[in-house]
Structure 1
Amino acid sequence: MEKKGWDGFEIGAMLRSFDGAIRDIATTLPEDRPYSQSNSFTASVADWRIEKPLFNKDYCIDCQFCWVYCPDMSIISRDKKMVGIDFDHCKGCGICVEVCPTNPKSLLMFPEQKEEEVALAEWPQKEKKADTVVEED
């Protein structure tokens, strides 16, 4: 197949996601799938991202909201547990951070150049609930 840019396809062209016949794609890991050249999985958008989501597994409750709502399927999940982020395909939209229900969030946006270790050190800490004492008369 000749490799074309986004504007090289004819109107109404059908772009197949995979090369050849596919069986049981749901249980095939994304990195093992035979993606076609016209599939966005083969293209990286990382070079134009200015912010990136970083993941702190200490706060994650594995709700899978980030995986469900990510428009680019950039959340890597194995056995219903969040394991990381596919930075080749993440465009830095921040939807994963918005839908994260934990407090503090297990995903936060950081500048693209920030090292993960530095970002994790800056992560907000869980607030400890003050013990309330009820006085009896």
Structure 2
Amino acid sequence: MANTGWNEFEIGAMLRSFDGVVTDNVAGVVQEDRNYSQNNSFSASVADWRIIKPVFNKNYCIDCQFCWVYCPDISIISRDKKMVGVDMDHCKGCGICVEVCPTNPKSLMMFPEQADEETEIANWTEKQSKEN
């Protein structure tokens, strides 16, 4: 299929996510090594849209995978059921990952796009005690 802009597709067009046989692309192959179609959103960066970004603090992560399950843009990078980071090329900064994170304090928090991740992790929020 030719590289077509989103507004050039006919109504009801089916877009294939992968080139080739699907089983060759997903079974045991990490996300970034799959053979994505040129019309797949994975092959285009959407980072320009973002004004806030999630910062991941692995010290508080319990690897529940909620962020991975609920991320609408497949931006959470998980290996062997462990959260390893955020794919900033595909993250739009929606904050859903932060909302579904159950840890206290959260292992993901939103910061301005220009924020330095190491500085923000050093100043991370402390555990909140429950009020009676």
Per the alignment, residue 2 of structure 2 pairs with 2
Task: Name the structure 2 match of 1:101.
Answer: 102
What amino acid maps onto 1:63 in structure 2?
A: C
Provide the secondary structure at the position in 2 that maps to 1:27.
Answer: coil
Deviation for aligned residue 1:47: 0.8
1:127, distance to aligned residue in structure 2 (A): 5.2
Give CA deviations for 1:58-95 in whole Å, capped at 9, x if unaligned.
Answer: 00011111011101111000011000000000000000
How far apart, CA to CA, are the structure 2 residues paired with 1:97 and 1:2?
A: 37
Residue 64 (str. 1) matches residue 65 (str. 2): yes
Whether 1:17 and 2:17 are equivalent positions in the alignment is yes
Which 5+ residue runs of structure 2 have no aligned equivalent? none
Residue 85 of structure 2: aligned partner: 84
Aligned-partner Cα distance in 2 for 1:21–1:82: 28
Query: What letter corresponds to residue 80 of structure 1 in structure 2?
Result: K
SS of the equivalent of 2:114 reads coil
Rg: which structure is higher?
Answer: 1
Count of residues in Structure 1 that have an aligned counterpart in Structure 2: 129
1:30 aligned partner: 31
User: Cα RMSD (Å) of the superposition?
Assistant: 1.5
TM-score, scaled to structure 2? 0.92
TM-score, normalising length from structure 1? Answer: 0.89
Runs of 4+ in 1 over 4 A off after TM superposition: none
C-alpha distance after superposition, 1:5-24 (max 9, x if no partner): 11011111111100111225
Cα distance between partner residues in 2 of 1:30 and 1:22: 13
Give the 3-state SS of the residue equivalent to 1:23 in structure 2.
Answer: helix
Counterpart CA distance in 2 for 1:48 and 1:22 is 30
Percent identity of equivalent pairs: 74
